[in-house]
Amino acid sequence: MIEEIANDVLDKLSLTSSNDFERFVGVEDHIAEMSSLLCLETEDVKMVGIWGSSGIGKTTIARALFSRDFQGSVFIDSGFKSKCRKNYQKANLDDYNILQFLSEILKKNDIKMDHIGAMGERLKHHKLLIVIDDLDDHVVLDTLAGRTQWFGLGSRIIVITKDKHLLRAHGINCIYNVDLKIKLFRCSVNMLSSKILHLMVLWDLLLK
């Protein structure tokens, strides 16, 4: 009986691909650690980074946090950025797509603004959750979440990227390393498999 259980566990472990480890760990583990970094009980405005390689589950973690209690929220994905990327280097507010950004957060159309500093005036009384996914250009971050003072008390900005230097350059020091989490899980799996093999050897000796 013990041998059958051990073999079954080993079979499952050997068939688990690297992409399956995020699901194996469970998104709740990630949520718990991210919630700790976000310090949701505090009223200050906080920026947190999610850093890791492609396809490891960074966006999944951020989307799971999206149901939290905020007055407004916006998920800035690759579609949003690619649509206006060509305009980011220009000085016109419309080109920066800030008006669209504000419309999505405040759920209002026909928003007008004279200068970029007015964005803070619009948002500083709102508790917001802003997620910037797959960041690869610091201008995007500087434009849409340049200063914590732009946002109301309790707001959280989550920045997802493969480039840790982009986070550091923006002063984001609270960073969740998804790769490290997966590596730690792999180590625990290897230790578990070694213990199971040891038990199997002992079981064989007992049967002799």
Q: Are 130 and 74 spatial neighbours (Cβ–Cβ below 8 Å)?
A: yes
Residue given tokens 């991210």 in the structure block: 34
State the pLDDT at residue 74: 84
Instruction: Give the type of residue at 7.
Output: N
The alpha carbon dihedral of 135, 140, 142, 144 has a sign of: negative
Strand partners, 76: 132
Strand, helix or coil for residue 194: helix
Structure tokens at 180: 């490290």
Of the pLDDT bands very low, low, confident and very high (cuts 50, 70, 90), residue 46 is: very high
The tens digit of pLDDT for each residue in 87-103 reads: 555 545 444 567 778 88
pTM of the predicted model as reported, rounded to 2 decimal places: 0.68
With beta carbons less than 8 A apart as the criterion, state whether 173 and 47 touch: no
Banded model confidence at residue 196, pLDDT cuts 50, 70, 90:
low
Q: Which amino acid is at 149?
A: Q
Confidence class for position 58, pLDDT limits 50, 70, 90? confident
Give the model's confidence band at 64: pLDDT under 50 very low, under 70 low, under 90 confident, else very high: confident
* Contacts of residue 31, Cβ cutoff 8 Å, sequence gap at least 6: 61, 64, 65
The pLDDT value recorded for residue 93 is 46
d(CA 78, CA 133): 7
What length is written for the chain?
A: 208
Residues 141-194: tens digit of each pLDDT: 888 888 899 999 999 999 999 999 999 999 999 999 886 555 545 544 456 555
Cα–Cα distances in angstroms (integers) from residue 157 to residues 1, 14, 38, 133, 134, in the given order: 51, 38, 9, 11, 14
pLDDT in tens, 104-151: 888 887 777 776 667 778 888 899 999 999 888 888 888 888 889 999
Between CA 151 and CA 147 the distance in angstroms is 8
What's the alpha-carbon Rg for the chain, to the nearest Å?
Answer: 22
Contact present, 97 and 103 (Cβ < 8 Å): no
> 113 and 122 in contact (C-beta within 8 Å)?
yes
In the chain, the domains with their CATH numbers are 2-207 (3.40.50)
Helix-then-strand count for the chain, H and E: 11, 5
| Arithmetic mean of pLDDT, 54-72 | 75
pLDDT digits (tens, 9 = 90+) for 14-41: 444 444 434 445 567 777 888 888 998 8
Element (H, E) at 128: strand 128-135
Residues 144/170, Cβ–Cβ less than 8 Å:
no
